[in-house]
Structure 1
Amino acid sequence: MKQRDGGGTGAQQRARADLVAVLAALPDPDAVDAFLDDLCTPAEIEAMADRWSVVPLLADGMSYRQIHDVTGVSVTTVGRIARCVEGGAGGYRAALAHRREHPAATTSA
């Protein structure tokens, strides 16, 4: 797993690495969905889903204002997400690439 800057204590880094490994090992979207339901509050899941909903729209070239109008996500948050898409850790880009390569896997939930 790639090391992150400012990753917290050794225990926090190990917990994050374990979380990443568990998510990656889950067998299907239903298992991930159940895990997220148990792990996160409804508001946390909603916030993550809102952020993800912005990413494909940015990739399609939609303006920040249009994205706000479609998703309800603030223009400020859209800008922050856009900065991560362009210069973040690469997770959004990898997820977008996976989504493009496996479109059926992203529409069955």
Structure 2
Amino acid sequence: MKRRPQEMDRGEDDLAGLASALLGLRSPEEVRAFLEDLCTPAELEAMTDRWRVVPLLYGNVPYREIHDRTQVSVTTIGRVARTLERGAGGYAIAYQRQTGETGPASPRNSD
């Protein structure tokens, strides 16, 4: 990812602005349109892949089986699992709100 010189780098303020823009959208269709405008097809595919494995990890499906079902790389699956364990909690919030369920405290690699 390209980084701007330090004096121009606002980082957190920029991320807060993006989060605020997402929060202002009112429907899944609006969010989809915004994401399609904002992201490249490869970025959308990467984000979609990550999100597709979250419910499977919460279901304690083994990594290899997740790969077989989704064709998402085992490396990406492992990264998502680590983020579920040590990340900021965003996956858990979105998963709970989408499904009404809470996932386990930390999904495990049952490979």
- TM-score w.r.t. length of structure 1: 0.81
Correspondence for 2:79: 80
Structure having the higher helix fraction is: 1
Could you tell me how far 1:13 is from its partner in structure 2?
A: 1.7
Correspondence for 2:95: 96
Could you tell me how far 1:88 is from its partner in structure 2?
A: 0.9
What percent of counterpart residues are identical? Answer: 52
Deviations 1:74-101 (A, max 9, x none): 1111111101111211011111111112
Deviations 1:19-78 (A, max 9, x none): 001101101100000000110011110110000000000011100000011111111111
Please give the secondary structure, in 2, of the residue aligned with 1:11. coil
Read off the aligned partner of 2:60 and give its amino acid letter. Answer: G
Q: Name structure 2 gaps, 5 residues minimum.
A: 1-5, 102-111
Q: Find the aligned partners of 1:39 and 1:26 in 2 and give their Cα distance.
A: 14
Q: Find the aligned partners of 1:15 and 1:83 in 2 and give their Cα distance.
A: 25
Asked which structure has the greater CA Rg, the reply is 2
**Superposition pairs for residues 3-82 of structure 1, below 5 Å?**
11-82=10-81
Could you tell me how far 1:11 is from its partner in structure 2?
A: 1.8
Q: Name structure 1 gaps, 5 residues minimum.
A: 1-7, 103-109
Q: CA RMSD in A?
A: 1.7
